[in-house]
Amino acid sequence: MFVIGVFLSMGGKVVAGSPQFSAMFAFGDSLTDPGNNNYLNSLAKANYVPYGVDFYEGPSGRFSNGKTVIDYLGELLEIPVLPAYTSPFALGKNILRGVNYASAAGGILEETGQNLVLTNSLFILFYAHSFHVGDKCVGERFSLLEQVQNFESTLNELRRQIEEKELSNYLAKALVVMTLGSNDYINNYLQPSFYSSSYLYTSKDYADLLINRYTRQILALHSLGLRKFFLGGIGPLGCIPNQLATVLPPSGKCVTYTNDLVGLFNNRLQSLVDELNNKYNGSIFSYGNTFGAFLDILNNAKNYGFSVTDRGCCGIGRNRGQITCLPFSMPCANRSQYIFWDAFHPTQAVNQILALRVHSGSSSDCHPVNLQQMALL
C-alpha cells in the first residue's frame, strides 16, 4: 500500500494517521512544466541559465528562477519531487508517488501553442507579436489530450507494479492537479495573426468551448479510476508583463479586456466543479481561485514583501515583457522582491504563496475544499 499518513488535520493540528494522497499527478503548461519539453523538439524550453538560478538542480526546464507551485505542493503533502513524464528516470519505483505531465505551450485545445517559431537555432521563446517567419510554426508540446494519453502509459506501468485491487485504492486516493487554459488565450485567442479562434467564437462561446474540451479529459481521467481533482483557475493574464507591454501608450494598469476573458473561463470552471461534485458521488473536485489569489498579491505587494509588480526579473523590451529571458542573460539581483520572473511566469516566491493557499487556504481560495481538507475525505 503506497499511502503515507498525513499529520495535519483540517484545523491545522497534528493528527497522526490521517489519510494522505497516495500520489500526485500533475497536468499543465509552462507554469508547472518540470522539464518535459527538454525532451521534445520544442523551442519552449527553459533548460538554460538564467532559468533555475535559484533551483538546486540549476536549469531543469522549469520556467522560473526556482520551484514551481507543484514542487511546493509536493513539499506540503510530503510527496517527493515528481519526475517529468519524458524524463528517462520516470520509470519503476520512481513513478509510484506520481508524475508531472505539464508541457510548456500546451493548452486545452490541441492547436494551442503552434505559434512558436524557431530562429537562428537559439532556444529563445518568441510569440507572434514579437517575431514572425512566414507561415511556418515550430514547437512540439503536449496538449491536454496528449497529457492524458501519457498518463495512460504511466497507468500501464503501474499495473506491472501494483496488484489490481490495490491499484484501484491507490488511484482513488491519488491527487490530480490540473492547471491549464492560459495558453489557450495567450497563445491562441489573443493571437489573431495565427489563429482564427477570435473570429469564429465570441468570448463567451470560446470559454464554453474550452470548458467542454476540458471536461472530456477530466472525465477520461475519472474513468481510469482517479477520484480527487484540483482544478486551478487561470490567473490575471492582463497583469503579466507581456500584456502590459502591449498597451500603447503604457498605462501601468492591467489589461481589462484580457482579464475579462479569463474571468469568463474561471466562472465556468467553478460551475463545472459544482456540477461534477453533484454528479459523481465518491469523488471530489475542487476549484482553485488563482485569479483572486494572484490579484491579492499584486494589490498588497508590500505586505507580501514584493516591491516590483509590473515587470519581469529578466527579459527584454517594455516591462521586460516583449521577449523572455535570453540564454546567459543577467537577471535581477533582488529576485525575492519581484512578482514576475519573466514576461509570463511568476517567481518562486509567488509560487510558494500560491501553493500555501491551495494547500490550506480559505473558501475564497479553494472551492469547496482546499487540499489539506481534500486529503481527509
Residues identified as active-site: 30, 342, 345
Amino acid type, 20: Q
Q: What is the DSSP string of 101-122?
A: ---TT--SSTTTTTT----TT-
Q: What is the DSSP string of 290-347?
A: HHHHHHHHHHTGGGGT--EEEEESS-BSGGG-SB-PPTTPPPPS-GGGEEESSSS-B-
Q: What is the dihedral of CA 8, 11, 13, 14, to 10 degrees?
A: -30
> Which helix (H) or strand (E) segment is 244 a member of?
helix 241-244
Radius of gyration of the chain (CA): 20
Going by their DSSP bridges, the two strands 366-367 and 284-288 should be labelled as: antiparallel
The neighbour count for residue 16, using CB atoms within 10 Å, is 7
The answer to whether the CB of 27 falls within 8 A of the CB of 101 is yes
Q: Which of 320, 202, 339 is nearest to 260 (CA)?
A: 202
Classify residue 85 by its DSSP letter. Answer: T
The answer to whether the CB of 54 falls within 8 A of the CB of 348 is yes
Q: Which of 20, 6, 24, 375 is nearest to 178 (CA)?
A: 24
> Which helix (H) or strand (E) segment is 213 a member of?
helix 203-223
- Lookup result for grid cell 507543484: 70
Alpha-carbon distances of 9 from 13, 16, 47, 360, 368, rounded to whole Å: 6, 9, 38, 10, 16
